[in-house]
Structure 1
Amino acid sequence: MRKATYILPVLVLVVIAALSSLFIVDEREKALVLQFGRVVSVKEAPGLAFKIPLIQEVVTYDDRILSREVGPLEITPSDDRRLIVDAFARYRIVDVVQFRQAVGTGGVQQAEQRLDNILRSQTREVLGQVTSNDILSTDRAALMLRIRNAAITEANALGLEVIDVRLKRTDLPQANLEATFSRMRAEREREAADEIARGEEAAQRLRALADRTVVELESDANRQSEIIRGEADAKRNAIFADAFGADPEFFEFYRSLAAYRGALLEGNSTMVLSPDSDFFNYLKSSTPDR
């Protein structure tokens, strides 16, 4: 009975010690076994692993590809146009021993802070060597690759592998943005004024050309009408001359009738003529005096 009393606590302690010496390595993690803060083994294969209870401890780190957002960063390209850049990086822990030695107990949080400093420094250095147009153009893919390659060496010292770096947003600072919009608006207004001035100039030329064309057409029409009128008068006079030459008496009679028609109209001024006047020659007899 006494043996059972002693054996039961011992068995409990043995079970507890056995359980505390076992730990599970997840397939998404890597584990370090530490003894008094010193790394004694690395467990990368998933499954059960062992450690010495109470003396050793286990620290795990994520073995997956991680993302890190780099906050807004103001840079000054070679053309002195300031830009605000947002970026993000993808990385993974490839050497957990070196990672532990580099960041100590700070873990992933401290590593990401140091990685931020690396990415910010390399982003400023790379983008500061090119113009803003290069950053905003399709060349930015090559620039992101340069930032990644420059950050790889420094990140390796932390046991990290930088897989990719991307620029998410590239904008002008608010003050520069407003100044740029004002400059663009002024340029567009100037271009609009130039277009209006060129339009007015073209309109003036067209109006002047149209006015000159009208004057030329009217002048030519008047000239032609005067020529036609002169030719018609000449033909009429020729007809009158031929008619007068063919029958002088009939021509004189016709001219007298025309004179009567014009003189004996209602409302004409009163005329005082002698009855013996030649004006009434054809009203006195059927045969005019010779």
Structure 2
Amino acid sequence: MTRAIYIIPVLILILVVALSSIFIVDEREKVLVLQFGQVKAVREEPGIGFKIPMIQDVVRYDGRILSLQTQPLEVTPLDDRRLIVDAFARWRIMDLVEFRESVGTGGIATAQTRLERIMTAAIREVLGGVNSDRVLSDDRIPLMVQIRDIARRQAEALGIEVIDVRLTRTDLPQQNLAATYARMQAERQREAADEIARGNEAAQRIRAEADRQVVETTSQANADAEVIRGQAEAERNRILAEAYNRDPEFFAFTRSLQAYGKALARDGSSIVMTPSSEFFRYLQGPTASAAN
């Protein structure tokens, strides 16, 4: 009975020591086994691990992809237009030993702070070398790739990998918005004036061409009309000559009647002449009897 009293505490102590020497690695974690602050083992695969109780410690780190939202910062591109920029980064721990040596006991929080400083420097370096129009445009992927590559190279010393970087905001400071809008409006007005000037020039050119075509068409039509009129006159004269040659006496008689009609056509007109006047020759002679 007395022996059992001593054996039970020993068994309990052995069980506690055995349990304290076992640790479980989750699939979302990466684990370091430290002995007096020195790295003794690295466990990145999920499962059960062992350590020396009371001597070795287990430090756990998040093995998943982590995110970092930078604070808004002011950058000055090449054209001296100040911009307010912030970015979003994705990163993860790649080398646990190097990560521990770089950040010490601060862990993820210290790594986030140091990575944000790296990101800030990379953003200033890349965006400070281009014009603000490129930063404000929709096609900013090349700029984000440059920022990511710079941050990735510098973050390797921390034992972490920068997977992706995105510019979440690129805005003008509030005090610069009015001047920027005014400049944009002036540029649009200048473009509109240029378009109007080009339109007026094209309209004048088209109008001049139309006027030239009108003159040419009218001249050609007048020339054609004169030709047709001349041909008609010639045809009329030919017909008259042909008719005259058939019966000259009848032709002279008809012309005389036309002259009589024109002379007496007006109202209130009077003609005083003798019956023996030459004017009545065709009304008195044998030609008139034949005509009657």
The letter for the 1-side match of 2:282 is: Y
1:73–1:86 contact (8 Å) kept in structure 2: no
- Alpha-carbon spacing, 1:244–1:134, altered in 2? closer, same or farther (3 Å): closer
- Alpha-carbon spacing, 1:22–1:161, altered in 2? closer, same or farther (3 Å): same
Report the CA distance between 1:34 and its aligned residue.
5.1
Report the equivalent of 1:221: 221
The letter for the 2-side match of 1:148 is: A
Provide the identity percentage: 44
Partners of 2:56 and 2:231 lie apart in 1 by 133
Partners of 2:249 and 2:101 lie apart in 1 by 145
Report the CA distance between 1:49 and its aligned residue.
0.8
Report the CA distance between 1:109 and its aligned residue.
1.5
Report the equivalent of 1:18: 18
Superposed, which structure 2 residues align to 1:1-290 within 5 Å? Answer: 1-26=1-26, 28-33=29-34, 35=36, 38-39=37-38, 41-44=40-43, 46-53=47-54, 57-83=57-83, 84=85, 86-96=87-97, 98-131=98-131, 136=139, 139-140=142-143, 143-144=146-147, 146-152=149-155, 155-156=156-157, 158=158, 160-169=159-168, 171-173=170-172, 183-226=183-226, 228-229=228-229, 232-233=232-233, 236=236, 248-263=248-263, 268-274=267-273, 276=275, 277-284=277-284, 286-287=286-287
For each residue in 1:111-151, what CA deviation from the matched residue of structure 2 results, as whole angstroms up to 9, or x when unmatched? 21111112212332244345557775675476246413541
2:34–2:58 contact (8 Å) kept in structure 1: yes
SS in 1 for 2:33: strand
Normalized against structure 1, the TM-score is what?
A: 0.71
Report the CA distance between 1:108 and its aligned residue.
0.8
Report the CA distance between 1:253 and its aligned residue.
0.5
Partners of 1:41 and 1:104 lie apart in 2 by 15
Partners of 2:232 and 2:134 lie apart in 1 by 82
Partners of 2:61 and 2:38 lie apart in 1 by 14
Which range moved further: 142-151 or 107-116? Answer: 142-151
- Alpha-carbon spacing, 1:127–1:241, altered in 2? closer, same or farther (3 Å): closer
How well do the aligned residues superpose, as a CA RMSD in angstroms? 4.0
Partners of 1:39 and 1:278 lie apart in 2 by 155
For each residue in 1:29-68, what CA deviation from the matched residue of structure 2 results, as whole angstroms up to 9, or x when unmatched? 2123355xx3463342752313324x65432123455443
2:21–2:52 contact (8 Å) kept in structure 1: yes
Unmatched segments (≥5 aa) in structure 1? none
2:103–2:111 contact (8 Å) kept in structure 1: yes
